[in-house]
Amino acid sequence: MRTAKTIFPIVVFLAGIILYLPVNFTTAPIAKPQTHVVEIKQMKFNPAELTVNKGDTVVFVNKDVLRHDATETTGKSWKSPALASGQSWKVVATKSASYYCSFHPVMKGKIIVK
Amino acid sequence: MKTFKSLTGWAASIVFCISMFHLPAFAQEKPTLSDAEVASVAVVANQIDINYAKLAKEKSKNADVLKFAETMASDHKAVIDQAVALVTKLGVTPKDNAVSKQLLSDADKTMKTLRTKSGRAFDKAYIDNEVAYHKAVISAVEGLLIPESENAELKALLQSIVPALNAHLEHAQMVQKQFSGK
Ligand SMILES: [Cu+2]
């Protein structure tokens, strides 16, 4: 009886640690990466402003008749190839970026990494 | 009752005056076009801008002008391909007409002027013309070709190219800024 009484809190304590730890690891900063779609249609990126988590994938889909691309504004980060009608291209978002279409520089968009 | 009568009379005379001044001009600006003629105007208008772009690629050394011309050649070609595919499907043969002939003879004059220029003067003249030309084409598409087209698919195609024409106009205006100096 005496042994059981002393052991019980220890068991509860250990169980707590064991149960708590994995939960803590899976929910907090490392969420499962998601995929977001930016449609290029009627000379616009849609949505023009997209908020994502770090590590998420952004897919650009050209639904226009004309060719377009997505070019990160500073020119130092990423640039899609020319996307013909129906083609798509993806990038993994590691930091916030502004981008534009190099064929039609008036087309602009933004990816915000939370 | 009396006030009402005189008010309507007043309104009617105003409407009458406005229409007297505006109707003849309006009628002149809006010829009647069949779908075959609308298709011809659309193809000719796009081909003209491709020709301007070809000339720019021969004559210009300015990176922004060249990039713009490259986009014009590619986009207007895509629009022509789309228009040709549609008229082929509809069994319509584009038919030239007063509007398409006027466009061609105006473009001929502009091409001659552009050919006489070189360097920065050419770049400026080319871009100024692109701004003016896209403005004119946008108003022709919206004010004449769309209202004149009877076939729903032809109308939809014309409506779908307006955003591209507007983007081209803004792009041209962006490039134009670097020549606003003297
Ligand atoms: Cu574009």
Q: How confident is the model over A25-74, as pLDDT tens digits? A: 445 556 789 999 999 999 999 999 999 999 999 999 999 999 999 999 99
Predicted confidence band at A7 (pLDDT cuts at 50, 70, 90)? low
Q: Is the ipTM of this complex over 0.85?
A: no
- Positions in chain B whose pLDDT score sits under 50: 1-27
Cβ pair B167:A102 closer than 8 A: no
**Pair of tokens at residue A6:** 């002393």
CATH fold for the domain made of A35-113? Immunoglobulin-like (2.60.40)
Q: Do the Cβ atoms of B37 and B100 come closer than 8 Å?
A: yes
> What pLDDT, on the 0 to 100 scale, is given for residue A2?
52
Chain A contact set for B170 (CB, 8 A): 106
Q: Find the helix packing angle between B63-90 and B152-176, rounded to 10°.
A: 170
The DSSP bridge partners found for residue A62 are A40
% of residues, chain B, pLDDT over 70: 82
Cα separation, A14 vs A18, in Å, equals 6
- Token pair 């005496």 is found at A2
Cβ pair B167:A104 closer than 8 A: yes
Quote the ligand 1 centre to B107 CA distance (angstroms): 26
> What pLDDT, on the 0 to 100 scale, is given for residue B49?
98
Residue-range domain boundaries for chain B: 2-26+34-179
> What pLDDT, on the 0 to 100 scale, is given for residue B123?
98
What CATH superfamily is the domain B2-26+34-179? Ferritin, core subunit, four-helix bundle (1.20.1260.10)
Higher-pLDDT residue of B131 and A2 is B131
Global pTM reads: 0.79
pLDDT tens-digit map of B134-180: 999 999 999 999 999 999 999 999 999 999 999 999 999 999 999 98
Cα separation, A65 vs A22, in Å, equals 49
Mutate to test the interface with A, among B79, B162, B170, B174 (most CBs of A within 10 A): B170
Residue-range domain boundaries for chain A: 1-30, 35-113
